[in-house]
Amino acid sequence: MSSKKDRLNDGTGAKKRRIDRLPKNLPFAPLVRRPDYQLRRVKLSVPKRIPTSIILACVLLGLFFIFAGGFANLAQDELNAFGTDVYDNPVTIYPEGLDHQFLYEGIAAGTLMFIGAFGFFLIDRASKYAYSPKHATISLVVGMGLIIAALFPIMYMLLTKLDLWKLLFPGAI
């Protein structure tokens, strides 16, 4: 509540701000209105716990780092971000085996794994909405589509990396 100091005795008894009680003839530039400052105590509060969304974001970033082969990239002697073959043509998949990878190859594989994991999440979510058949069917179909859409590029990357195309399809390549 305000004290009697905050009220202006003009007969109305209405509350007036301290800035309104300043004299009107203060030296201010023309066309500039009087500043309206209300100096109050600023209260900063420290949260008692870490928000769940921040914890979830940190866990998902950590999983993406692991899926993308972040530890493998850190353990390599030299970080290969981009590669070329002997004819200086760009190569997207490191051909020497599973123990080495290009940086963007790991990021692509991690992204595809996350897309597949989100598909499994949607399939699980479809089982929660069993009493809403339309919603459950949409979640199930989209989830299966995401899993299939992530599976084939990952299998292509793995078959190319291990050079198994010649064994699986001997006459095609």
What value, to the nearest 5°, has the Cα angle with vertex 113 and ends 88 and 89? 5
Give me the residue spans of the domains in the chain: 54-163
CB 111 within 8 A of CB 131: no
pTM of structure? 0.61
DSSP tag of 83: E
The two tokens of residue 142 are: 């989209």
pLDDT digits (tens, 9 = 90+) for 14-73: 676 666 666 666 665 566 666 666 667 777 888 889 889 999 999 999 999 988 888 877
Check residue 3 and report its DSSP letter.
Answer: -
Q: Please name which of 96, 103, 95, 94 lies closest in space to residue 71, comparing C-alpha atoms.
A: 103
